[in-house]
Structure 1
């Protein structure tokens, strides 16, 4: 894959410059992700799916809030279906309206789906459920666990609204790692970064999370 060409870092004292920089970086990263050839995308996706399976193996009864893949994101649905088959549960976000927290609703492969916010499929006819693990797609990320998403702020807004914070796993491609995404004050870092290069713990919750099988140990964290 060709290297990603990104604009120079902004002046950190200029909020408008930071906002413009994030928009331009988002555009470049999405264009790069869309250009990944299918064979490479498939190979990297297998690595990420294996890493997610290791995380969920330590939490076999967890309810996992995941995402419906769009714009060449990594498709974790096979991992989620396997998790359900092994006794776990899953949920997909429903977006009530713009600038509101997402609500996770119970999901199984048999759930009826309809186009929701931004035409992303959402389950209908299922109840809202609390989640123990949240999988957040990464357009880009930095080493502190701050994620660059699509700009709507849905994941951060949702995390801030939850009474009990789930374990948050950011999923993306290693090439989209940035030195700094210059997060906004309301941005919330993920607990684990998962890419095709391995799993990286970011917060103490990554290794201290209690919602795992009794007596099991934390997943093995890898490095490139």
Structure 2
């Protein structure tokens, strides 16, 4: 390594990566996340009552995301089934029709996911979904979503029917004025936080 390299300034982070790190830090430091999550899930259920006549996907929360176990449990009690995603190779998501909360098992890194022994028996076509509840790192008022950078949910959103209702659960601190979308990005119809249900796009 030459003297010029030693004295050169550090690389400037990509704007999206810098924003991602800022929002993740804000989410980690947010107090009372469990209480806030419950408020968000209650607000979601009031705005979007789930019935047996529609098929819904709800993400299984990890780390500091809005917690969804209570939402999953309540949906199972009300409807008898809820679709949950799980990771596949090549940054794809598989979809599993969950019938009991006990069918979620701790997998890699201690993350809850559908029991691998049951996955081969049950498959859900993304085109069959009527509503998709997704996480994210950040959102803007137009529904543009900043993910974790791997593209799992971006790919899934691209496989849904255009009329499938897309709803994000987020803490208020995850809302920002603008997120620059990529051509392939698909915006949310609604964002539900502990303070508001924000309509972003006509459903």
Q: 1:222 aligns to what? A: none
Q: Judge conservation of contact 1:159–1:165 (CA < 8 Å) in 2.
A: no
2:123 maps to 1:128: yes
Q: Give the Å deviation of 1:110.
A: 2.4
Provide the residue aligned with 2:67 in structure 1. 75
Larger Rg: 2
- Describe the superposition over 1:111-153 as per-residue Cα deviations: whole angstroms up to 9, x where unpaired: 152525x764321204122332211112111111011111111
Q: Structure 1 residue 94 and structure 2 residue 92: aligned? A: no
**Which residues in structure 2 correspond to 1:148-167 (within 5 Å)?**
148-163=146-161, 165-167=163-165
* Alpha-carbon distance in 1 for matches of 2:130, 2:138: 24
Counting matched residue pairs gives: 184
Tell me, what secondary structure is at the counterpart of 2:91?
Answer: coil
Q: Residue 104 of structure 1: which of 95, 100, 115 is its match?
A: 95
Partner residue, 2:20: 26
Structure 2 partner of 1:35: 29
Residues 1:200 and 2:198 aligned together: yes
Q: Which ranges of structure 2 fall in alignment gaps of 5 or more residues?
A: 1-11
User: 2:190·2:200 contact (CA, 8 Å) conserved in 1?
Assistant: yes
The answer for the alignment partner of 1:51 in structure 2 is 43
Give SS of 2:79's match: coil
Task: Give 5+ residue unaligned stretches, structure 1.
Answer: 1-16, 206-224
Contact preservation (8 Å) 1:63, 1:88:
no
Which shows bigger deviation, 68-77 or 184-193?
68-77
Q: Distance in 1 between matches of 2:181 and 2:158?
A: 15
Alignment root-mean-square deviation, CA: 2.2
**Aligned residue in 2 for 1:9:** none
TM-score (structure 1 length as normaliser): 0.74
